[in-house]
Structure 1
């Protein structure tokens, strides 16, 4: 399955509470994603919490856009990516 990096902007900052409510919100995102065959692998968040860089496995970029809309999440850019690590060359 293709892997994608999804860039998102949150002008007011991304604020997910570190408690049961936050865990529930993220579980709902994962559930909605699974309905379109989209798997959220992990995300990186900028220090000021205004940008995220999320890694997804998905059948198509359109599947990512569809679940993002259902989850109420912005999408600035979707790029198909592959892993490149320095350890491959040793």
Structure 2
């Protein structure tokens, strides 16, 4: 299944979804996407999330249902390691 990086931009601090995580994961399950992890910017107004999904459309559908932005979605297929070698995303 393809992997995607999602950039999310917020007007205020990123809401950390501790209470909402279960609902977000349920929506993701229903849309057949898997949230692997996220990074937060220092100003807490952007997040960069790694997802596994069949398509960008599935990610967009899950984001809309969860009320979350999905400003930039980029499919990725490898990691560049410090050694210069490519590795699988997983």
TM range (shorter): 0.7 to 0.9
Q: Which structure: greater strand fraction?
A: 2
Structure 1 residues without counterparts, runs of 5 or longer: 17-21
Identify the residue that residue 19 of structure 1 maps to in structure 2. none
- For the residues of structure 2 that align with 1:42 and 1:83, how far apart are their CA atoms? 16
Identify the residue that residue 88 of structure 2 maps to in structure 1. none
* Helix, strand or coil at the partner of 1:24: coil
Identify the residue that residue 65 of structure 1 maps to in structure 2. 60
Shift of 1:54: 0.4
Deviations 1:53-89 (A, max 9, x none): 0000000000000010000001111000123223574
Pairs aligned (count): 84
Which of residues 64, 68, 74 in structure 1 aligns to 2:69?
A: 74
Structure 2 residues without counterparts, runs of 5 or longer: 86-90
- Higher RCO structure (Cα 8 Å, ≥6 apart): 1
> What's the TM-score once normalised by structure 1's chain length?
0.85
Q: CA RMSD in A?
A: 1.4
